[in-house]
Structures are given as structure tokens and as C-alpha cells.
Amino acid sequence: MQTVEVAPGIFRLELPMPFELKHVNVYVLRDGEYFTLIDTGLQTDESRQALNQKLAALTVPVERINRILITHIHPDHFGLAGELRERTGAELVIHRLEVALMEPRYARAEDLVHDVAAWLSKNGVPPAEAEFLKSASMAAREFVSVVEPDTLLEGAERLPIDGTDIEVVWTPGHSPGHCCFHWPARGVLFSGDHLLPKISPNIGLHPQSGADPLDDYVFSLQRIRRLEVETVLPAHGDPFYDHRGRIGEIIEHHEARKAALVRLAGAGAKSGWQLAAELFQGIMQRNVFQQRLALQETLAHCQSLAVDGRLQKLVSRELVTWSAA
Ligand SMILES: [Zn+2]
């Protein structure tokens, strides 16, 4: 039985995913006689069944779920939100910057593919590869249905729960409107994808990202570092405890990557695609989804370096290149 009470009245439901990353955690929070859900899992039969079974095992009647908090709109977090709201009538709560991403990403994806194609070409992806890469994330659409939220967040809101409050912490970086949910009375932080125990979340520069997502991300980590937290409950993997230690490791990892890029760009101006191939050795043999993430991740680091004056970003109508400052 995977369902566990990770803290009094807080239950972790591990839901399956057909990806390299095998599970996503959904949390159920007792709130008097009602329940709040944090994230939803994918919109797949497997995930829906697992969620139903686990709720039944906890004897949580679906109609008692009166609020759904969403960390961000990636399919593994937001996929079932539309369907669940329909079934429960729950209040759907999400940061307003995520809402702006929904329509282009899931409802008007053809337009987005067009923007992505232009962006790939500018970043040095050869036409043959770009043809595959541009629609690499189209498949994600089937795991989600678009739904209008009830309550929009900006950060710093307090949401009443069980006689106490959950505080919304806006943590842009992995996604522009990513939010963590801090429950001080319980010493718990629901960290979404912002802070994970084993992997570092993908931070990418792309047409739907913030303009300098890596610096946003690091700033958001500092915001989390200041919180008093006993237990971090992440969206992927097991609960963990030393959030400041983990934040330190992740910041070091990005610093090391930046230093590597400065070295690579020292040999002359290169496109993001060239740098990604050199930074992520072997990535070009992997699938198009991995290749696109590698490119986005490389560009996020280059952008941060250019903002800092450690790289030069040269832009023409056709191409963006990066070289030593
Ligand atoms: Zn995500």
C-alpha cells in the first residue's frame, strides 16, 4: 500500500506515470470534515483509477474534497484538475501566471508549435531536427483538459485550513507561476517541482518561460531557504528534511553548469544547440523530448550568464549566439 499518512492528517498518494519519471505525489489534507487536494496527477485511466482507489482506501468521499491547490500546470500536476472539479465542485486554486499558459499550451497548441519552430531555428537547431523537436511536447496535451480556475493567486496569500493557515509561496523558475504551499503550524512545505530530493527540476528558457528563469529560480530558492520547515513534501520522491542543505546542493549544481558553459563559450561564438550538444554529452542520441529539455536548460544558464555579464549574447535576425564576455 503506497498511501501513507506523512504527517497527522496529511496523506501522500503516489500516482503512476508512463514516463521516465514513474510517479507523481498528490497530497490530501484533512480540513475538519472536508479535504484539500494538492495537485491531481495525469489525466490517464491508470492515474484516475489509482487516485480513486487510494481515496477510497482512506475513506475520503470525493464530494468532501472542497479545494484543489495546483503547484503549476504541467500535466502531471494539473492533468485531472478539470475532471475532479467537475466531480467534486471543489474550488480550483492556481497562480494567475499559470492560467495565461494554459490556452496556448493545451488548447491552441498549433500556434505554439509555430512559435517554437521559429525559436528553435534562431537557436541553431538544423531544419531536419527542428521538424521533430518542434512538436516534442504535443503528446502532453492528451494528459490534460483545460479548465477555468476559481481563485487566482499572486503569492503571499493565506488560505485557512483546519483552524490554521497555509501560506502561498510564489516560486517562479521551473514554471512562471509555480507555487509552493507552506503550512507553518505543521512544519510542512509542499514543494511541488521547485525542490525535489533526488533530481533538480528542469529550468528552461523557451517561448513560454520567464525571460530569465534560472535567476528567478535561484531567487525563489532563497525565498524557501528562509522558511522554517521540518518536512518537505515534494511532488516526486519521498519526504525529506534538510531543505537548506538540499537548496545548497542545487545552487552548486547550477553554478557548476554555468562555469562549464563559460569554458565552452570561450572557444568562440556558439549557438544554444551547439552548446547543449557539448554540455550534455550523448544527449543527441536520446529522444527529441530530452534534446529539447537540454536546449532549454542550456539557454536558461546562458541567459543568466549574459545578464551577469559573464557571456555575450549576440542576436541577429537569424541566429542567437553566445561567446565569452
Ligand atoms: Zn513540472
According to DSSP, the residues that pair with 13 across neighbouring strands are: 26
pLDDT over 90 percentage in the chain: 83
Distance 143 CA to ligand 1 centre (A): 13
Distance 130 CA to ligand 1 centre (A): 23
Question: Which of helix, strand or coil describes residue 26?
Answer: strand
What string of DSSP letters covers 60-82?
Answer: --GGGEEEEE-S--SHHHHTTHH
In whole angstroms, give the CA distance from residue 117 to residue 265.
Answer: 24
Q: Specify the pLDDT at position 3.
A: 53
Closest CA to 303 of 320, 288, 284, 279: 320
Residue 215 is inside which H or E element, if any? helix 213-225
pLDDT digits (tens, 9 = 90+) for 271-323: 999 999 999 988 878 888 899 999 999 999 999 999 999 999 999 999 999 99
Distance 254 CA to ligand 1 centre (A): 18
- Per 3-state DSSP, the chain is made up of helix, strand and coil in percentages (nearest 5) of 40, 25, 35
CB 225 within 8 A of CB 243: yes
Distance 131 CA to ligand 1 centre (A): 24
Question: Which of helix, strand or coil describes residue 191?
Answer: strand
| Entry pTM | 0.95
Distance 24 CA to ligand 1 centre (A): 10
Distance 293 CA to ligand 1 centre (A): 12
Distance 157 CA to ligand 1 centre (A): 22
Q: Specify the pLDDT at position 262.
A: 97
Distance 59 CA to ligand 1 centre (A): 29
Q: Can you tell me the mean pLDDT for 65-81? A: 96
Residue 128 is inside which H or E element, if any? helix 127-133
